Amino acid sequence: MTIWTPDLSGDGPRYRQIARAIADAIDSGALATGEKLPPQRRLAHALGVTPGTVTRAYAEAEKAGRVVARVGSGTYVAEPGTQDFTQIRVDRGTSDVIDLGLALPPPLAVRDSGFARALSAMPADATLCATALDYQPPDGMARHRTVYAEWMTALGLPVAADELIVNLGGMNGIFAALSACLQHGERIAAERLTYPGLISVAAQLGLKTVPLAHDGDGLDVDALAARHARQPFSALYVMPEHQNPTTTRLSEERRAALVDFARAHDVWLIEDTVQFLPEAERGTPLYRLAPERTILLFSISKMLGGGLRSGVMRVPPVLHARVETVIRNVSWMPPPLIVGLVCRWITSGDADAVLAAQWDELAERRRMTHEALPGIDVATRAGGFFAWIRLPPGQRAAATATRLAAQGVRVTAAESFCLGSEAAPQALRLCFSAAPDRAELVRALAIVNQTIASPPAGAWQTI
């Protein structure tokens, strides 16, 4: 059988030539969406290069969003402009692509120094051994829960230590909340555009999903009762403060109505505040309005660092034992060494300094984003990581994301956030937080502006 074999030409290392040839073949239609690329060894043999060169080329094409690698199966041409949640790999700084596709915190010196101080403050003595090497309670150590509770309260999320369950961050919280509230085959409702991690966990747990309408004021609460009558759901996942990806905030009026609805229909509320904003940007938390039925998800991933894998969930007392069971089944408990480190970072005051510096940096990046994209419909929030860009009429999100990827800038088309089968809006999420520095952000934004300002001349796709 013949395999797709590109003619390599142009300058630069072979792996880049191959990656470029893949992009050209996709653009020209020689490689179709969903088509499998040749096995790496066979292509290497056909081209007379080492298998490592092809591996690197495929990784480059993947980073540019052109292909996806499926473990044990091979590499396939990606759906244009979308990001498959199960295939996400974070590899900052290892390629030429400016990746604004993932909501990563901006690099900050104050974060690195705070981390180093917290590490060096860890006592190398018997107390640490006794804590860190031993099994601890599944909901976390009492003193760690107290530190988290005091910090959250100071940040404007008043909680008591015994309401908290320490976990492994936001994803772990979503998994634990859905597992505790729902049985296989039951329905979970969420905004029609939502965090892809929620979609992935729901699929894994065999849950049915109910996409809900939302607009500039957040979830359309008026439509909820009718939707519930047609497709009753047991839990509702929502991001009231900073909707990911659309940046909206749920109005106070709708919060009250949402709580009334949840009480009337006995629905659990899962309130995700992982994309954490300054207090002035937030409304009344749902768990304050309906403490008996709301799980709050809080993570330090977007504050101190995603690598720490630490967060907490505030859980109604009736669900505490069920959530504990999930945590025990997944990891027995949160790792006391990591949680202890995070707590030191918090109690030293250095965590607050990171947050303040991050909000300053984000304010500047936000300003730069609006300045660089004049005349384009760009929504952002103070303290947020990303912009939601609604494309001018006539432009398609997936095609625009693909054109951007070809120029070395990665963003995410709305399609990746879609729950259900309704058409996605023609919009892109651009995480200005993720640029390695401001200069790279300026470079990327200029490309985005130019790409949106000059769409390709209309061409008949069909007759």
Ligand X SMILES: Cc1ncc(COP(=O)(O)O)c(C=O)c1O
Q: State the residues that interact with ligand X by CB under 6 A.
A: 103, 169-171, 195, 197, 239, 244, 272, 274-275, 299, 301, 306, 311
Handedness of CA 316, 319, 325, 329 (dihedral sign): negative
Is the CB of residue 334 less than 8 Å from the CB of residue 176? no
State the nearest-atom distance from the C-beta of 194 to ligand X, in Å.
Answer: 8
State the nearest-atom distance from the C-beta of 310 to ligand X, in Å.
Answer: 8
In terms of CB distance, is 264 or 382 closer to ligand X?
382
In terms of CB distance, is 60 or 139 closer to ligand X?
139
Is the CB of residue 255 less than 8 Å from the CB of residue 240? yes
Using only the alpha carbons of the chain, give its radius of gyration: 23
In terms of CB distance, is 17 or 273 closer to ligand X?
273
Is the CB of residue 426 less than 8 Å from the CB of residue 391? yes
State the nearest-atom distance from the C-beta of 173 to ligand X, in Å.
Answer: 7
Is the CB of residue 166 less than 8 Å from the CB of residue 342? no
Q: Which single residue is written with the structure tokens 């659990």?
A: 268
State the nearest-atom distance from the C-beta of 432 to ligand X, in Å.
Answer: 15
Nearest-10 crossing angle of helices 14-28, 40-47: 110
Q: How many CB atoms lie within 10 A of CB 192?
A: 20
* DSSP string of 3-52, one letter each residue: ---PPP-SSS-HHHHHHHHHHHHHHHTSS-TTPBPPPHHHHHHHHTS-HH
In terms of CB distance, is 56 or 429 closer to ligand X?
429
State the nearest-atom distance from the C-beta of 177 to ligand X, in Å.
Answer: 11
Nearest-10 crossing angle of helices 350-372, 438-453: 30
State the nearest-atom distance from the C-beta of 462 to ligand X, in Å.
Answer: 37
In terms of CB distance, is 88 or 257 closer to ligand X?
88
As to burial, measured by CB atoms within 10 angstroms (0-12 exposed, 13-18 middle, 19+ buried), residue 450 is exposed
State the nearest-atom distance from the C-beta of 105 to ligand X, in Å.
Answer: 10
State the nearest-atom distance from the C-beta of 36 to ligand X, in Å.
Answer: 30
In terms of CB distance, is 194 or 402 closer to ligand X?
194
In terms of CB distance, is 103 or 165 closer to ligand X?
103
As separate numbers, helices (DSSP H) first and strands (DSSP E) second, the chain gives: 16, 17
CA 132 from centre of chain: 30
When CB distances to ligand X are compared, the closest residue is 170
For residues 442 and 147, give the distance between their C-alpha atoms in angstroms, rounded to a whole number: 39
In terms of CB distance, is 5 or 86 closer to ligand X?
86
